[in-house]
Amino acid sequence: MVFPKRFFFLGLMLMGNCLLAEIRILSVTERYFEQNDFKRVFEYFTGKEFTGTELILRSDHANRSGMYFEFSLSATPSSLPKGSAFILHVYRSGSLDPKTYPFKIPEDTEEKKDILIGLTGEDWPSKKTRLIAWKLELRSSDQRILAQKQSFLWEHEK
């Protein structure tokens, strides 16, 4: 019977596409946060930062004030390939060249859903520093681009 075989192969093709689903960066918003914006009641009692369901990655772990990029993915952080990293490229006021910041994704991200990447400390010296353009990439351990998103101005020719 040829007819059932066609359905079988069609089903295999559809299932294969679902298993190899593309990872996408759904949306990105940028915002400046002060040190105290991250302080929760839990931290007053324990002395440890409480991040809840957010994965927070900072360029300077000792400082919390800075420019943050908040985004979500079409996949959970725990389902990303091991050794993956976010690479953030930015143009900011006071600089003609883009700066690149790598952020390695930690292995323990089981409860995390949303992601905050922060340029903190000397990487974003003050609230007056202006963001001009940005490009965010998710790369595998072998440097393949798994997903990327960029601001409108990133595409603009110099």
CA neighbor of 102 nearest in space, from 67, 73, 137: 137
Task: Report if residue 141 sits inside a domain.
Answer: yes
The pTM score is: 0.81
CATH classification at residue 44: 2.60.40
* Residues 138, 148 contacting (CB under 8 angstroms): yes
Contacts of residue 133, defined as CB under 8 A and 6 or more positions apart, other chains included, come to: 90, 91, 98, 150, 151, 152, 153, 154, 156
Q: How many domains does the chain have?
A: 1
The average pLDDT across 104-109 equals 90
- Grade residue 19 by pLDDT with cuts at 50, 70 and 90: very low
Share of the chain above pLDDT 90, in %: 62
Neighbours of 13 (CB within 10 A): 9
Residue 135 lies in domain: 23-155
